[in-house]
Amino acid sequence: MHETRPHHEIAHLACIELCSPDPAGSEWFFTQLLGMYVTERRGQSVYLRGYEDPYPWSLKITEGPTPRMVHASLRTSSADALHRRVRAVAAAGLGDGWIDGDFGHGPAYRFHTPDGHELRLLWEAEQYLAPPDLRSKILTRPSKKPLHGVPVRRIDHLNLMAADVSAVRRTCEDLLGMRTRERLVDGDAEVGTWMSSNNLGHEVAVMRDARGALGRFHHVAFYYGVAQHNADAAEMFREQGVPIEAGPDRHGISQGAFLYVFEPGGNRVELFGDPGVLVLEPDFRTRTWTMDEIDVGMAIGGAQLPWETYFTYGTPPVEAPHDGTTGAATSDPAPVPD
Ligand SMILES: [Fe+2]
């Protein structure tokens, strides 16, 4: 069968920008506990990277009144791929236009998913070159592994909440060329989808927002590659008063080893203990989970993902029930450290 859909036009998830009402607390969390390096400060923003992130930053924290995802950037596989994807997004009426490059980046094309999440596409990105004292003897490692906290290696994936999961999935599939690796359905309704355009089991996931709000953020995951690190990190978070939502355990969906916590700004962060399933065959079949399989899908080891937060709390927080308009900050309490 002739394949007409775009293929591997998106290379990977390059970075994410989060808004934090507690920027000092967020910076402490990501640097002291997760071992990320600060590489730049501009205005109300700080830029950070894990020790194996290939670029000068994978996380930008910007001070603001409410926790939320400002944007996430996807790097294309070539300059031509960027322009092809931009034409497709613009033709679909989702594009906002080009913006100047951020720190370490060339121009980016900004657009919104049908649910309202801001995504950017870019090709030009500097490779990170560590100063001499941070260079690793391991040549594929862009910088030394830090000696404190339980250091994450790199950004791994992004999970978005959506009022209409299928609409966001179709945008990622039809306009960006992503493939749906796994999905979760409730009868005829699609309530979750896990997608990638490379060998990872997922890089962008979308789950139904139980509050009915639009365009919210569920979590960003950073990669350890060793499940034991999730157990080590759980001890660290308990001792440091960081709220643990669930884990360590292993998802059935993606087979990734997970641990969910809330950073001091109120955004949910996942520590991804290992890569989970990898997609090597070009004709990988989408697997569809049903609600009677959700216990295994969520946690093979039986950990409970708490309904009162995991399926309802996203950023920005909203009141329940929601009227379906874009989520505005409310008094819905964000989890805070003990
Ligand atoms: Fe995740």
Give the Å distance between the CA of 133 and the centre of ligand 1.
33
Give the Å distance between the CA of 194 and the centre of ligand 1.
9
Give the Å distance between the CA of 258 and the centre of ligand 1.
7
User: What gap in Å lies between CA 272 and CA 143, rounded to an integer?
Assistant: 20
Instruction: Tell me the β-bridge partners of 51.
Output: none
3-state percent breakdown (helix, strand, coil) of the chain, nearest 5:
20, 35, 45
Q: Write out the DSSP string of 115-168.
A: T--EEEEE--BPPP---GGG--SSTT-SSPPPSSS----EEEEEEEEES-HHHH
Inter-residue contact 124 to 107 (CB < 8 Å): yes
- Give the per-residue pLDDT at 336: 44
User: What gap in Å lies between CA 328 and CA 125, rounded to an integer?
Assistant: 33
Amino acid at 40: E
Give the Å distance between the CA of 72 and the centre of ligand 1.
15
User: What gap in Å lies between CA 243 and CA 306, rounded to an integer?
Assistant: 13
Give the Å distance between the CA of 40 and the centre of ligand 1.
27
At 95, give phi and psi (nearest 5°).
-80, 145
Give the Å distance between the CA of 202 and the centre of ligand 1.
9
**Could you give the 3-state DSSP secondary structure of residue 13?**
strand
Give the Å distance between the CA of 272 and the centre of ligand 1.
7
CA dihedral 61, 269, 28, 34 (to 10 degrees): -120
- Give the per-residue pLDDT at 334: 46
Peptide bond into 248 cis (omega under 30): yes
At 144, give phi and psi (nearest 5°).
-65, 150
Q: Which residues of the chain have pLDDT under 70?
A: 1-3, 320-338
- Give the per-residue pLDDT at 2: 59
Give the Å distance between the CA of 337 and the centre of ligand 1.
21
The 3-class secondary structure across 274-312, one letter per residue, is: CCCCECCCCCCCCEEEEHHHHHHHHCCCCCCCCHHHHCC
Give the Å distance between the CA of 80 and the centre of ligand 1.
30
Domains identified in the chain and CATH numbers: 10-127+152-310 (3.10.180.10)
The string over 15-51, giving b where at least 16 C-beta atoms fall within 10 Å of a residue's C-beta and e elsewhere, is: bbbbbbbbbebbbebbbebbbbbebeeeeebbbbbbb
- Give the per-residue pLDDT at 5: 80
Inter-residue contact 327 to 160 (CB < 8 Å): no
User: What gap in Å lies between CA 202 and CA 256, rounded to an integer?
Assistant: 10
User: What gap in Å lies between CA 40 and CA 105, rounded to an integer?
Assistant: 13
Give the Å distance between the CA of 1 and the centre of ligand 1.
33
Give the Å distance between the CA of 291 and the centre of ligand 1.
18
CA dihedral 199, 97, 117, 193 (to 10 degrees): -30
Give the Å distance between the CA of 94 and the centre of ligand 1.
25
The string over 231-262, giving b where at least 16 C-beta atoms fall within 10 Å of a residue's C-beta and e elsewhere, is: bbbbebbeeeebbebbbbbbbbbbebbbbbbb
Instruction: Tell me the β-bridge partners of 285.
Output: none
pLDDT, tens digit (0-9, with 9 covering 90-100), for 255-298: 999 999 999 999 999 999 988 999 999 999 999 999 999 999 99
User: What gap in Å lies between CA 109 and CA 85, rounded to an integer?
Assistant: 10
Give the Å distance between the CA of 205 and the centre of ligand 1.
7
Residue carrying structure tokens 């290379």: 11
- Give the per-residue pLDDT at 27: 98
Among the listed residues 123, 131, 95, the one whose alpha carbon sits nearest the alpha carbon of residue 110: 95
Mean pLDDT score of the chain: 93
